[in-house]
Structure 1
Amino acid sequence: MDNQLSMVWDRLSDHQKSAFETFFQLLVEWNEKINLTAIIDWPDVRIKHFIDSLLIYVSNYRSFLMEPGRRVIDVGTGAGFPGIPLAIVYPEVSFTLVDSLQKRVQFLQTVISELGIENVEIIHARAEDLGRSPDYREQFSGAVSRAVAKVNVLLEYLSPFVEKHGWICMYKGPQVDDELQFSKVAQSKLAVHLQHQEDFRLPDEAGTRHLLWFQKISSLSRKYPRKAGIPSKQPLL
């Protein structure tokens, strides 16, 4: 996957590259007002945020989520990763980005307005609360999330949104094996099963990344998600 990741940027259209450059400018500008990221130099943002978010773009399993007409939710999107980069390269997929901080939501609304992105919905909410709403519960083809929580906690945030036989794709760092060891109970209780793991090395020795692909195998018990704050304080073990 190393060569493919190195060429990701070259595969983008001029229009897409321009969108990423505008996104970068807004990220730096807003980062002076609210804490969005510690990475603010263009080379690092391009690799560690943009190309990292586009791992799905070169995944062997991207067709699980990134087909026209699919609905994908990005939970705990933060400064818009991976949701905004994916929305730029997959304009025929509908993305819902969820974050619990109002200031970050305002930033994201500015980004999609400035970029003219029409396939993104921004929601200010806690995942545990939104996951119980009939309008969002099990209404998505899949869910993605990057740098939010450990696997067992994150599964409780994501599984409620995904329809039966849908997919969850987690972006994880080097501690992935340890996290997976403690996720078996969560997988069982949350009606998901790990189907695939993909390993990547980012360009310019920027580190290793992993994509975990879980499939939803049945409808989720109404017991989940538990009340806001409980999944992180009392993770399923």
Structure 2
Amino acid sequence: MNEVVDVLYSTCRELGVSLEEFHVKQLLEYMELIKDWNKKVNLTRITDDREMMVKHFADSLAIVGIETLPHEGKGIDVGTGAGFPGIPLKIYYPGIQMTLLDSLKKRIDFLSEVIRRLGLKDVELVHGRAEDVAKEKAHRQVYDFCFSRAVAPLNVLCEYCLPFVKIGGTMMAMKGRNVADELKESKKAMELLGGKLLKVVEYKLPPDIVHCVVIIKKVKPTPDKYPRKAGIPVKSPLK
């Protein structure tokens, strides 16, 4: 286990992320919960400890080395799955108010157990589809930042995420290396939904993985008719 922890420390250090002992302790407990629940709920295909540290934990925390988050801000992780990147970011920034949104009830049940076991505060779990939840007053245009990791093409993701973000807030889409085509195809959707591309930042994970974060600023309100009804954004993406 010491070797696995060393991998986490060294990978995060390369990403510009400084970990404290309490961060690592909680991440290790989180990892054990994932491995235990993964036997009965499909949470991740990655089960090797070392791979999990790099491809889930360090990858989620890459945002910390790229963008300064308000330590007491309000964030939402759309399509959180097993809690990535929302749980590692909450562990790193305990003061953040974090909402974790997922459409699968079993994943929400798992995340409820994670929150209880790790003693995390100010975490809200929402079971539902982004298209429906983003229409609710309690969630619409109220978040300082919105994260999403490996959920959908960028033009679809903009329709899922930007309605949650308040003006002046930020959407952060975690993507693979090749996003040039997605950026072109999402230009109209981004503008229509109130977003403006700020930057795309590449980062490296060992041994030779290149990922990137697409950072979009919310500059104007999202029209009331967006997002469209559940299922339509992915069937008929804005172009």
Q: Which runs of structure 2 are paired with 1:42-61 in the superposition (5 Å)?
A: 42-59=49-66
Match of 2:79 in 1: 76
Deviation, structure 1 residue 165: 1.5
**Does residue 179 of structure 2 align to residue 172 of structure 1?**
no
CA contact (8 A) 1:131 1:161 kept: yes
**Does residue 210 of structure 2 align to residue 203 of structure 1?**
no
2:33 and 2:16 mapped to 1: Cα distance? 19
Deviation, structure 1 residue 119: 2.8
1:10 and 1:187 mapped to 2: Cα distance? 29
1:193 and 1:45 mapped to 2: Cα distance? 33
Structure 1 unpaired stretches of 5+: none
1:77 and 1:58 mapped to 2: Cα distance? 20
Match of 2:221 in 1: 219
Deviation, structure 1 residue 9: 9.7
Q: Which runs of structure 2 are paired with 1:114-129 in the superposition (5 Å)?
A: 114-129=117-132
What SS is found at the alignment partner of 2:109? helix
2:100 alignment partner, one of 97, 101, 121: 97
CA contact (8 A) 1:87 1:119 kept: no
CA contact (8 A) 2:17 2:61 kept: no
2:27 alignment partner, one of 13, 17, 20: 20
What SS is found at the alignment partner of 1:96? strand
TM-score of the superposed pair, with normalisation by structure 1? 0.93
What SS is found at the alignment partner of 1:204? coil
CA contact (8 A) 2:11 2:205 kept: no
Deviation, structure 1 residue 14: 1.4
2:51 and 2:64 mapped to 1: Cα distance? 19
Match of 1:230 in 2: 232
CA contact (8 A) 1:5 1:202 kept: no
Name the amino acid aligned to 2:176: G
Match of 2:4 in 1: none
**Does residue 153 of structure 2 align to residue 146 of structure 1?**
no
What SS is found at the alignment partner of 1:138? coil
2:124 and 2:167 mapped to 1: Cα distance? 22
The alignment's C-alpha RMSD in Å is 1.5
Distance 1:9 1:67, change over 3 A: closer
What SS is found at the alignment partner of 2:207? helix
Name the amino acid aligned to 1:120: V
Count of residue correspondences: 230
Name the amino acid aligned to 2:226: Y
Deviation, structure 1 residue 133: 0.3
1:121 and 1:10 mapped to 2: Cα distance? 25
Deviation, structure 1 residue 177: 1.1
- 1:125-171, CA deviations, whole angstroms, 9 ceiling, x for partnerless residues? 11000000011100111101000000000000001100012110110
TM-score of the superposed pair, with normalisation by structure 2? 0.93
2:25 and 2:167 mapped to 1: Cα distance? 37
**Does residue 198 of structure 2 align to residue 191 of structure 1?**
no
Deviation, structure 1 residue 7: 4.3
Name the amino acid aligned to 1:142: F
What SS is found at the alignment partner of 1:209? strand
1:78 and 1:229 mapped to 2: Cα distance? 18
Larger relative contact order (CA 8 Å, sep ≥ 6): 1
What SS is found at the alignment partner of 1:72? strand
Deviation, structure 1 residue 175: 2.8
